[in-house]
Amino acid sequence: MDADFLKNLLIPARTKIVMLVLDGLGGLPPLPGGKTELETAQTPNLDALAQRSALGLTIPVAPGITPGSGPGHLALFGFDPLRYEIGRGAMEALGVDFELGPDDLAARGNFCTIDPGGLIVDRRAGRLCTSASQELINRLSLIKLPEADIFICPVKEHRFAFILRASGLHDALSETDPQVTGVPPLPLLALDPTAEKSARLVNQFLLQARDLLADCSPANMILLRGFARLPLLPTFQERYGLNAAAIAINGMYRGVARLVGMQVLNPAGTTLEDEFNLLHQYWDEFDFFYLHVKKTDTCGESGDFNGKVKAIEEVDAQISALLALQPDVIIVCGDHSSPAVLKSHSWHPVPLLLYSPYVRSDGNAEFGEHACSHGSLGTIPAIQVMPLALANALRIAKYGA
């Protein structure tokens, strides 16, 4: 089903949809035959909602493929993650909440140490602390190019996001990080004639950076990799007729939401309560709310099974307040699985709950991987979630006579 097909069937409605994304929601039991994080968690409110909902599992990208957060979210938002790719540099810039625009070319940068002969001796400059990194970034910020604006944002320790803003930039560029020590940084090359301007500008910047950092220690040079521009995506308004808001703490998720045209709201603090408060505060102003929960993934990736269980229980505690708003459609889902036992993202299908007054409810008062694997929605590509949400919101007209 292509996007235009759906677009032509859209009908206006006053219904509201909430998509609650628990990052890395899917899990595995700590021992074979046991319960996953979600199954272990005490979730009376989600379980009660599950009883009135249809359950299923989502495949974010393709069977067996472990998605990053970018592809995982694009799929939930209804965009084929194999067609729309958000490169690593762009993700890095989004991750520090940089408002990446269509004229921007972003890269992952890091400070490194080179010897007097120009050979790299430490690719991470001893993982210098973030404040030391900030001082060096202040120095690099003095660099001016006649044809472009430059933005450098600290990430963590030796890492930063590098953004070049000018017209006509392209991301078909090689990387300067050779991935090994004992050799000089690689020359930056245009991999396609369209990227020649970009290569010239970045190389001008690199030359000046080298001079400016020459007397610093241990960080006396920089490496750039993962050059990327943002893909151009239709907005939620254009594609779904939805006036959409995003509630997320972390920059990367705020950035992906901005990319699909959501208005990104600013929580007062960094807690789950702060996020749900924002939902209440802006309830009357939007048709669609994306609310992102990060902690489930953070715990999964660090192998903290119990922490992930607790993070899920914290979400459960917010469900009553969510229901009090009487959303027409509620989706509880994840952008990918992050089982604590794997300490990483994984390929496993992700639990999905779809509530509306019009679902055929499974009548199963349990929200967990096994219940979802027997759910009536089946195991479906994640890009099918948005059409199902719109249908349940009575926002799609009949096709054909």
398 binds a second copy (CB under 8 A): yes
Q: Cα-Cα-Cα-Cα dihedral of 78, 82, 86, 91, to 10°?
A: 90
**Among 113, 296, 318, 346, contact with a second copy (rule: CB under 8 A):** 346
Segment lying near a second copy (by CB under 8 A), choices 270-278, 283-291, 310-318, 365-373: 365-373
Helix (H, G, I), strand (E, B) or coil at 56: strand
The β-bridge relationship of strands 350-355 and 329-333 is antiparallel
Taking the complex as a whole, the smallest distance from the CB of residue 274 to a second copy amounts, in Å, to 26
Nearest-angstrom CA–CA distance, 393 and 155? 40
Q: Which is nearer to a second copy, 228 or 311 (CB)?
A: 228
User: Which region among 27-35, 166-174, 271-279, 317-325 touches a second copy (by CB under 8 A)?
Assistant: 27-35
Nearest in space to 36 (alpha carbons), one of 295, 385, 373? 373
By C-beta, is 136 or 257 nearer to a second copy? 257
Under rule CB under 8 A, residue 10 binds a second copy: no
In sequence order, which ranges of 2-62 are alpha helices (DSSP H)? Answer: 3-7, 37-40, 44-51
Nearer CB in complex with a second copy: 110/220? 110
Q: Does residue 297 bind a second copy (CB under 8 A)?
A: no
Q: Please identify, using beta-carbon distances, which residue of 28 and 112 lies nearer to a second copy.
A: 28
Determine contact, residues 131/214, Cβ cutoff 8 Å.
no
Say how many C-beta atoms besides its own lie within 10 A of residue 346's C-beta.
20
Binding string, residues 76-95; x marks residues near a second copy by CB under 8 A = -----xx--xxxx--xx---
Of the two residues 243 and 376, which places its CB atom closer to a second copy in the complex?
376
CA 33 distance to own-chain centroid: 31
The reply on whether position 5 binds a second copy by CB under 8 A is: yes
Q: How many CA atoms lie within 13 A of 205 on its CB side?
A: 31
Selected from 19, 40, 71, 258, the binder of a second copy by CB under 8 A is 71
CB atoms within 10 A of CB 149: 12
**Which of 263, 376 has the CB closer to a second copy?**
376
28 binds a second copy (CB under 8 A): yes
Q: Closest Cα to residue 177, out of 210, 225, 133?
A: 225
Q: Are 98 and 151 in contact (CB under 8 A)?
A: yes
36-65: which residues touch a second copy (CB under 8 A)? 36, 51-52, 57, 61-65
300 neighbors 37 (Cβ within 8 angstroms): yes
269 is a contact residue toward a second copy (CB under 8 A): no
CA nearest to 151, candidates 169, 142, 163: 163
Rule CB under 8 A: choose which of 128, 258, 369, 382 binds a second copy.
369
Distance, in Å, from the CA atom of 223 to the CA atom of 206, rounded to the nearest integer, reads 9
The CA-atom distances, in angstroms, between 250 and each of 19, 54, 87, 264 are 17, 30, 18, 11
Q: Which of 9, 10, 48, 186 binds a second copy (CB under 8 A)?
A: 9
Contact track, a second copy, 300-339, x by CB under 8 A:
---------------------------------------x
Residue (of 286, 252, 293) closest to 74 by Cα position = 252
Residue by residue, what is the 3-state secondary structure of 89-149?
Answer: HHHHHHHCCCCCCCCEEEEEEEEEEECCCCCEEECCHHHCCHHHHHHHHHHHCCCCECCEE
| Closer residue to a second copy in complex, CB, 93/169 | 93
At its nearest, how many Å lie between a second copy and the CB of residue 318? 22
Measured distance CA(338)–CA(210) in Å, rounded:
40
Q: 91 or 279, CB closer to a second copy?
A: 91
Min dist. Cβ of residue 361 to a second copy (A): 6
Contact pattern for a second copy over residues 92 through 121, marking x by CB under 8 A: x-----------------------------
| 396 lies in the site for a second copy, by CB under 8 A | yes
Tell me whether residue 154 or residue 226 sits nearer to a second copy (CB atom): 226
Enumerate binding residues for a second copy (CB under 8 A).
1, 5-6, 9, 28-29, 32-33, 36, 51-52, 57, 61-71, 81-82, 85-88, 91-92, 339, 341-342, 344-348, 357-358, 360-363, 369-370, 373-374, 376, 378-380, 384, 387-391, 396-401
